[in-house]
Amino acid sequence: MDLKSEILKLKEQKDVLILAHNYQLPEVQDVADYVGDSLGLSRQAAKTNHKTILFCGVHFMAETAAIVCPDKKVLIPDLAAGCSLADTINADQVRKWKSEHPNAVTVGYVNTSAEVKAELDYCCTSSNAVNVVKSIPVDKEVLFLPDMFLGSYVAKMTDRKNMYIWAGECHVHAGIKPQEVQEKLTQYADAEFLVHPECSCTSSIMYDVACGDYGNRQVQILSTEGMMNHAKSSNGKTFVVATETGILYKMRKQNPEKEFIPMSDAAICKYMKMITLDKVYLSLKAEKYEVKVPKNIAQKAHLAIERMLAIS
Ligand code: 13P
Ligand code: SF4
């Protein structure tokens, strides 16, 4: 059986929109209607007319789609596709933290469970985190969760001194070793560096660049979609990419004349890779596994997500 054509046939028959994150396996990206970053995928989910959304990504992303589209069926091919970053904080921990800072505004990365989102004032993604924090009055304390590297990047970019940051991290981005960064900086002197703000190297790279340590070296801190757009629009020929390696597939496909080098070959998210073409097919066929969010949680979380979608 040709899985790809079966999936495309079933998708039409059942009126399903397939969304895939930039880190998905190439063959999964190839059957999707839209491939993008967390913010772009939430936006696509919010505006679709299809009855069902099949989400090829991790669980919190499918939950976000279920929250913004309460009247649609949202499916994920494997319920075990989680996120190590989202797992670093639960709703009880957020409530406790808020009780210690009763006047603070709480900003949470989209990489959180629906229960955590229900406790937030604002949700954000890596592409709009800086602008979300900028929109908060400067005299207000900010609690930022759960990624400490994205948090410290945002604090630096907004020059905010009253921001408290949760000490969470993504094992994939935090796992990119300083030695790998050093090696690539030395080896690819003329390359542009595209770095995801979840990387632990983000803060040190920014500091080194600000100090002029790398001369005119081009370093961009960007969300996955920001990287994709930059790769297309830049006149550069070689790019070192510091994020999950799944992003290289579309980058290379869209820019065959340019060269893309992973900062680390080991930067692979095992959760993203749980979504295989076989599972996509089975999911479509049997309409499983449906992701549902209890109404009371979804209503509260929706407010924070709407605020995120309003700020680009
Ligand atoms: P983006 O929002 O940049 O797509 O990142 C999502 C993510 O999970 C990064 O690891
Ligand atoms: Fe979560 Fe990290 Fe995987 Fe992104 S790469 S989904 S943050 S575990």
d(CA 159, CA 156) in angstroms, rounded, equals 5
Torsion angles phi and psi, residue 259, rounded to 5: -110, 135
Enumerate the β-bridge partners of residue 74. 53
**Inter-residue contact 169 to 148 (CB < 8 Å):** yes
d(CA 256, CA 297) in angstroms, rounded, equals 45
Query: Mean pLDDT per segment of 10 residues, for the chain of length 312 residues?
Result: 95 97 97 93 93 97 95 97 98 98 96 97 92 96 96 92 97 91 89 91 69 70 91 96 97 98 97 98 98 97 92 80
**Inter-residue contact 280 to 42 (CB < 8 Å):** no
* Ligand 2: nearest atom to the Cα of 147: 7
Looking only at the bridges linking them, the beta strands covering 163-165 and 259-262 are unpaired
**Inter-residue contact 64 to 43 (CB < 8 Å):** no
Distance 177 CA to ligand 2 centre (A): 17
191's tokens:
């390359």
* Ligand 1: nearest atom to the Cα of 196: 3
Domains of the chain with bracketed CATH: 3-82+272-293 (3.40.50.10800), 86-170 (3.40.50.10800), 176-262 (3.40.50.10800)
Closest residue by Cα to residue 275 from 39, 23, 72: 23
pLDDT reported for residue 215: 62
Closest residue by Cα to residue 266 from 179, 151, 190: 179
d(CA 65, CA 95) in angstroms, rounded, equals 24
* Ligand 2: nearest atom to the Cα of 86: 1
pLDDT reported for residue 38: 86
Task: Indicate the pTM of the whole model.
Answer: 0.94
**Inter-residue contact 33 to 18 (CB < 8 Å):** yes
Radius of gyration of the chain (CA): 19
pLDDT reported for residue 140: 97
d(CA 83, CA 59) in angstroms, rounded, equals 8
pLDDT reported for residue 312: 76
Place of tokens 């992701």: 291
pLDDT reported for residue 26: 98
Q: Is the peptide bond before 153 cis (omega within 30 degrees of 0)?
A: no
Q: Which residues line ligand 2 (CB under 6 A)?
A: 58, 83-85, 111, 170, 172, 244, 269, 271-272
Q: Whose CA is nearest to atom 6 of ligand 1?
A: 38
pLDDT reported for residue 200: 85
Q: Whose CA is nearest to atom 8 of ligand 1?
A: 111
Closest ligand to residue 83's CA: 2
Enumerate the β-bridge partners of residue 53. 17, 74
Closest residue by Cα to residue 227 from 197, 206, 203: 197
**Inter-residue contact 293 to 115 (CB < 8 Å):** no
pLDDT reported for residue 214: 65
The most distant pair of C-alpha atoms in the chain lies apart, rounded to whole Å, by 61
Amino acid at 278: D
pLDDT reported for residue 211: 62
* Ligand 2: nearest atom to the Cα of 170: 2
E strands within 34-141?
A: 34-36, 52-56, 73-75, 105-109, 122-124
pLDDT reported for residue 181: 86
